[in-house]
Structure 1
Amino acid sequence: MTAPSGNLYIVATPIGNLDDISQRAIKTLSSVAWVAAEDTRHSGKLLSHLGISARMLALHDHNEKQRAAALLQKLQAGEDVALISDAGTPLISDPGYSLVRLCRDAGVRVVPIPGPCALISALCCAGLPTDKFHFIGFLPAKSQQRQNVLSAIPQGVGTLICYETARRIKDCLADVVKVFGAERELVLAKELTKTFENFVYGTAAHITAWLNEDPARCQGEMVLMIAPTLAAEEEINPAAQQTLKLLMSELPLKKAAALTAEIHGEKKNALYKLGLSWGAEG
């Protein structure tokens, strides 16, 4: 008779404040045979703080596919495994997909142990629409690639959420202006659950000015949220919007709107208002 497989537990850990660890997470981490961690040294400090002595294995972006196969063997031998990331919920812009997919395909039970998640923590306090949202993860490091990713996002997906590094945040805000205009409402959440937690509301220019006031503000973990598209954008087809953007780079807004209206059959006034909302001069 074949022994039953172990369980793979996907365990959320604190994103800053260690008091956010759940009792169920502590119980799970204390009972499993193995803890797979993105960085064993970093997570080892958390386990030590919790008084947990566990056998650990590293599972990160560079070794996940190979390590996933080894962990599957342990699970199939009846050993329980917990997967944790450096902070927050595993697989959300963190490693773990290959392991979870492998376990699902092999019939190994995968169990969520829910808890902190930076994107959800940021969104619920941002004051932006929460009925629909689109999580982008980390944007590309290069400006043009960032703009390409942002420009390709379909309309109607709701509030946009991305993670960004402190080193790139001001460049990212500049690219947001190029794609969505200078007046788009943004919220920057930084150092969530930590001592210097902050939510900054306003345009890209306002947030950039706030960052420039104190070099220390350009440090720590950041979540950037972008308000949904304006009603005017939702009424104009994406092809016309793209044409308007291209023409605006070479022509005055009034002329660009008129030509775009002629090409796509859209209303000239609606296109003109849309251009103004992007920060163009009338």
Structure 2
Amino acid sequence: MSEKIKTVVITGPTATGKTALAVKLARLYPAEIVSVDSRQVYRGMDIGTGKDLDEYGLVPHHLIDIADPQSEVYHLARFVRDAYRAIREIAARGRIPILCGGTALYLAALLDGYRLPGGALPPRKKGVERVRQNPDHEQSFEPPFELDALILGVYYPRGEVHARIEARLDSRLTDGLVDEVRKLHEVNGVTWEQLEFFGLEYREAARYLKGECTLLEMRNTLLCRIRQFAKRQDIFFRKLEREGHDIYWLKAGREPDPCGLLEQFLKDEPLPPPALRLCDINYGRK
């Protein structure tokens, strides 16, 4: 595969302001944003997924509100097809694709060029050709091009991330998170089982609506779960670094200057090594 498309990736733990940074850069450069979030694809799931649609303004964005949570299951195979298509179309318009989000599997699939087999394969048997069990299933997927990616991460110390998660959670509850989940179930027909599948805010709010916990218990459980999720994201980013991906961690999304890094990247100038690496930070035992 010889074709490469220059792409900017903006990622980081939850509640760190990834969208704000992506929008800022998209307003300064000819760019469009591609969401890398497994739940923002669903219509009607706005508060719980932090779509922040008002923040985008006139900035073109993709892979948001493209699936029905009641009737569709959006998965990796669909995401890679949609994402590569969006990236190619943005680049063909002479604009910069900015990938923004923190869904680890989706991000890894793009950065590492995942190849996906079509249909299920039977167990290997010596001398027997392996044929797909379901020939009508989606065909195998091969990445049509490589990403030449500048990866920018929004960094805050762990304690600040925890504080930001709590503040954002309380804001979402005030903004009507529970009512959003109630509407998904009662009006849109999303089942309790589907809400459980969507996880975090939707799982815990569904438990509250079913009378399985109080509002305060829901809030406190959810706070714990989201902080655990942020820890898993931290582990994923460390793994990316150890596997050779340079992530330029920007303190509070500002330092070092992301515009300076982007300018060097677009001009094919050598980039300095990242000043901060998560895999070199030891938080010690808790």
- What TM-score results when the alignment is normalised by the length of structure 1? 0.35
Q: Which structure has the larger Rg?
A: 1
Which one has more relative contact order, counting CA pairs under 8 Å at least 6 apart? 2
